[in-house]
């Protein structure tokens, strides 16, 4: 089959590298509205040919690795999809995407969210192995065609991913806590330091803890503002929960209640018993 990748950054570029190694994929082409990205993707040999969206529609397998709003717009623009084509999106939110898929191509579509990534973006950030041993959440799979289900499962298993099935709305609630809230906190932490009189002086002291927590703030603002917009209500709920926990810590500090503060911290450490 011929695979077409839309979006040639970290996610799309890394998947393109994996697709090139699969015995059931004979050619990998790609599209990106950023001309520089297309050129870099070719130079880095992420894809074999840069094409337009009309050509992408003729592919047997289409991967949408672009921001959520772009995924929705692109799906609506697809008018010439073959009946046996498989379209897989890699968006970080799912409910609004699945609701926006035109009925004509709903059987062609598989909603997926690979739980992987880095803070880097663009074709130069792509690398082989990004997806190996990671979880991919596949949503509302019963609405996809049988052939499309099989193609998606074969693809994800072939690149070493573990598949978890979930409803789109459930996915978005969970993603708000384990993915979207951490990014919001990281951006807030970075802005808190930048808001001080002498942030450079503060950052001299930055060690592992700060670097780990602020790393996500290097992620693409364009992509993440889009994600926040799409999952607004769930993210607001998660921020509210976080604020309540932060308020508990604040009150215990004000009260100098060190014993309760220690217990509050001990409760948090049990999270990693689950992980």
Q: What SS3 class is residue 49? A: strand
Q: pLDDT class for 101, splitting at 50, 70, 90?
A: very high
The reply to whether the predicted model has a pTM over 0.85 is: no
Among 182, 191, 236, residue whose Cα is nearest residue 213: 182
CATH architecture of the domain formed by 171-274 = Orthogonal Bundle (1.10)
What pairing do the DSSP bridges indicate for beta strands 61-64 and 86-89?
parallel
Q: Quick one: tokens of 155?
A: 């693809």
Among 70, 74, 5, 71, residue whose Cα is nearest residue 44: 5
Domain with CATH 1.10.3660.10 in the chain: 171-274
Domain with CATH 3.40.50.720 in the chain: 2-166
For 16-45, what is the mean pLDDT? 94
What is the assigned CATH class of domain 2-166? alpha beta
Among 16, 124, 100, residue whose Cα is nearest residue 65: 16
Among 97, 41, 37, 105, residue whose Cα is nearest residue 70: 97
Q: pLDDT class for 2, splitting at 50, 70, 90?
A: very high
Q: Cα–Cα distance between 210 and 269 in angstroms, integer?
A: 18
Percent of the chain at pLDDT above 90?
Answer: 77
């Amino acid at each position: 089959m011929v695979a077409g990748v839309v979006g040639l950054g970290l996610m799309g570029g890394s998947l393109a590298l994996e697709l090139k190694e699969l015995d059931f994929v004979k050619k990998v082409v790609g599209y990106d509205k950023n001309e520089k990205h297309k050129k870099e993707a070719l130079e880095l040999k992420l894809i074999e040919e840069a094409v337009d969206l009309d050509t992408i529609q003729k592919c047997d397998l289409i991967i949408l690795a672009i921001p959520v709003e772009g995924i929705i717009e692109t799906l609506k623009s697809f008018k010439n999809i073959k009946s046996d084509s498989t379209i897989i999106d890699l968006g970080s939110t799912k409910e609004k995407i699945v609701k926006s898929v035109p009925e004509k191509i709903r059987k062609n579509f598989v909603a997926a969210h690979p739980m992987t990534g880095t803070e880097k973006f663009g074709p130069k950030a792509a690398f082989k192995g990004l997806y190996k041993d990671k979880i991919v959440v596949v949503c509302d799979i019963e609405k996809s065609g049988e052939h499309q289900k099989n193609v998606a499962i074969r693809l994800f298993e072939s690149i070493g991913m573990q598949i978890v099935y979930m409803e789109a709305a459930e996915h978005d609630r969970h993603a708000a806590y384990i993915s979207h809230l951490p990014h919001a906190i990281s951006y807030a932490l970075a802005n808190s330091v930048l808001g001080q009189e002498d942030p450079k002086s503060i950052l001299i002291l930055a060690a592992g803890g700060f670097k780990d927590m602020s790393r996500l703030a290097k992620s693409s603002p364009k992509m993440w503002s889009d994600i926040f917009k799409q999952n607004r209500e769930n993210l607001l709920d998660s921020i509210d929960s976080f604020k309540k926990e932060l308020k508990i810590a604040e009150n215990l500090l004000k009260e100098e209640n060190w014993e309760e503060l220690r217990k509050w911290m001990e409760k948090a450490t049990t999270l990693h018993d689950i992980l």
